[in-house]
Amino acid sequence: MEITVILSQENETLPKAELIARLETLDINYEIIEEYLGLIQLEVDAGIDDIVELGSHLSYSHEILQTIEKTTPDELEKAVETIDWKEFVKGSFKVRVKKMNQGSVHRNSLERTIGAYIKKTSQQPVSLENAEYTIKLVFTDPVQVVNEHKEVSTVKYNKIMITSLIIKQDKKHFFDTKPHKRPYFHPGSMSPKLACCMVNLAHVHEHDVVLDPFCGTGGILIEAGLRNTTIIGSDIEKHMVEGTKLNLAHEGITNFNIMWEDVRKLEFDEVVDAVAMDPPYGISTTLGGDDTKQLYNEALIAISKHLKLNGYICMASPHYIDLYEVIKGTDLQIIQQHSIRMHKSLTRIITVLIKKG
């Protein structure tokens, strides 16, 4: 089936990387067909249930839609009339227009006229409150102009995807699990959204053993634990260890082993399938981050001993640490890096590494 994924535009590279990592984790064969700003179209070897599973833990994808037809604004009416709506609308429905970028479209009248046509041909009722099916017309491939003040505006769109919504991101989850709402809070806790994305980039499967050896308040472990995994964590600070246990219990997660330990001395029996971690950034930017680099290097060597072959590590680090230098002499390879600008003097780098023999 062909799908259209509406990606968050808050980061240039993470949304697509997260989506691809999740497709790989779920073993879904895919081919990228087209990409526009904030939107990607793929042919996937998957059914609706697989797509629901794919979309159910994505941080940076807003919606996954089944592509029914692709057309242009001039051809829209004709395209709508060629679709066998009985096949796509089997219960109450609504029509929604979605514009990628701020172009002008007669949204209300389009939703009304196309809704009326689908109602007539599918013989299903319109329901604005409780629709079983949401038909979305996604306007994309914008033609943009830049005025003399360098302001960009969209004058028209070249493409419309006629789609049916499969799954929408559960924004409530990220809102409800915000760090300050947990029993144990500490500044520096990672946002659930980024933690979820890192778990995805680490290719975490159901039933995996997942390690975060710098667990802090447990933000990453919560996201991993909510996927029916076994989680192992550690922290050098006892209050963090106790705090993580409280926070995991608060989410109803019970399958964990949290140790009060320096990562470099970690000992346990399990083989780890994936690692996601956010080590301390240190303060020694002016010294070139030497102490931090040494901690990272020793930590990665220690972690790698527990990690399975071809297992992934996803780690966050500050921009002033060169991870290529840090991993010299280890059995790890960097496969991708992404930047998140935090403020003027800090950019967070999200790196995905793989263990090679």
Ligand X SMILES: C[S@@+](CC[C@H](N)C(=O)[O-])C[C@H]1O[C@@H](n2cnc3c(N)ncnc32)[C@H](O)[C@@H]1O
Q: Which residues bind ligand X (CB under 6 A)?
A: 188-190, 213-214, 216-217, 219-220, 234-237, 240, 262-263, 278-280, 295
Q: How far apart are CA 55 and CA 236, in angstroms?
A: 35
Q: At a CB cut-off of 8 Å and minimum separation 6, what does 163 contact?
A: 4, 65, 66, 67, 68, 135, 136, 137, 138
Is 274:303 a contact under the CB 8 Å cutoff? no
Q: What is residue 65's three-state secondary structure?
A: strand
Please state the closest distance from residue 195 (CB atom) to ligand X, in A: 6
Largest alpha-carbon pair distance within the chain? 71
Please state the closest distance from residue 180 (CB atom) to ligand X, in A: 12
Please state the closest distance from residue 265 (CB atom) to ligand X, in A: 8
Please state the closest distance from residue 259 (CB atom) to ligand X, in A: 9
Choose between 15 and 282: whose C-beta lies nearer to ligand X. 282
**Strand 152-168 relative to strand 133-146: parallel, antiparallel, unpaired?**
antiparallel
Choose between 105 and 190: whose C-beta lies nearer to ligand X. 190
Please state the closest distance from residue 181 (CB atom) to ligand X, in A: 13
Choose between 68 and 303: whose C-beta lies nearer to ligand X. 303
Q: How far apart are CA 182 and CA 163, in angstroms?
A: 38
Choose between 104 and 284: whose C-beta lies nearer to ligand X. 284
Choose between 115 and 280: whose C-beta lies nearer to ligand X. 280
- Listing DSSP states for 263-323 in one string gives GGG---SSPEEEEEE-----S-TTTTSHHHHHHHHHHHHHHHHHEEEEEEEEEEEETTS-H
Choose between 7 and 314: whose C-beta lies nearer to ligand X. 314
Please state the closest distance from residue 232 (CB atom) to ligand X, in A: 12
Q: What is residue 200's three-state secondary structure?
A: helix
